[in-house]
Amino acid sequence: MKKTAVLALGGNAIIKAGQKGTISEQFANTRDALDGIVELIRQGYQLSITHGNGPQVGNLLLQQEAGAKAGLPALPLGVLNAATEGTMGYMIEQSLQNKLHGQGLDKQVITIVSQVVVDRDDPSLKNPTKYVGSSYYSLDEAKALKESLGWSLKEDSGKGWRRVVPSPLPIEIIPAGTIKTLVHQGQIVIAAGGGGIPVCRTENGLLEGIDAVIDKDFASALLALNIQADLFVILTGVDKVALNYSKPNAQELDTMTVAEAQRYYDEGQFPAGSMGPKIRAAIDFLSRGGSEVLITSLPRIVEAFAGKTGTRMVR
């Protein structure tokens, strides 16, 4: 019996630390990132792939800022999310198609640019806290950007002012039914990239975009539930989740239950800026009926599927 999995691929796998993020670099990184995924397809797994877009959308924000100084109208963040879904989906789709073709695997790869519904009354919409982009500004620059572009900015750890946006929770993935059908037919579907395009419903049921960023791990967890995936896989920068991370008494975990994960989270083991959102998304998936979560690094994904590394979470 074939198993279905959702793989949440980090955006930092496509633009690596220290790189400028040229399209040549991104294509090369994408090709390098897919070998393990091809092996899983060879083994018969039915896959949907999601991806982060932090570095990519950050670059687009800088382009908007530069364009605004030249008198060009800036695009809203929701549209930039859609743009990264298209460009990154194209890179992953083409690179994966070529690798599959090279290994004689006859599979279709499809990118679906995905609208994701959030609650128009989500508290985060009135209290933006998620930092986006990599630029820091002086107080005067922050005031000018707020005036010219309508940005919200907050001081960040004494380094300067950064743009912040709302990060509402996803409640519905518009094309989830189509994604489920395609995946269970054996197609490989790239969807909900960067958390998807945030939209809300008006009082008469119409969709409209909002200026926000949806956490891609929460959107990936929702997608895994919607398509009835057997396994939700969070690919990150470490082979296993660890307690006391980066400390001399660090302890890597082979397995965790939901109760254990929640206790460790409440104790502060998983900070908001690193493993925290991933653990919360894993808890959400399992608490709502999901079967299993695997957290590991992309280079070790095949070994992790074989049970040789990674952290597995169960109810």
Active site residues: 11-12, 130, 216, 278
Do 234 and 294 touch, CB atoms closer than 8 A?
yes
For the record, the structure tokens of 239 come out as 């082979």
For residue 52, the SS3 value is: coil
For residue 32, the SS3 value is: helix
Do 49 and 219 touch, CB atoms closer than 8 A?
no
Long-range contacts of 305-308 (CB under 8 A, 24+ apart): 305/40, 305/43, 305/45
- Give the C-alpha separation, 118 to 192, whole Å: 13
In terms of phi and psi (left: phi > 0; alpha: psi -120 to 50; beta: otherwise), the region of 228 is left
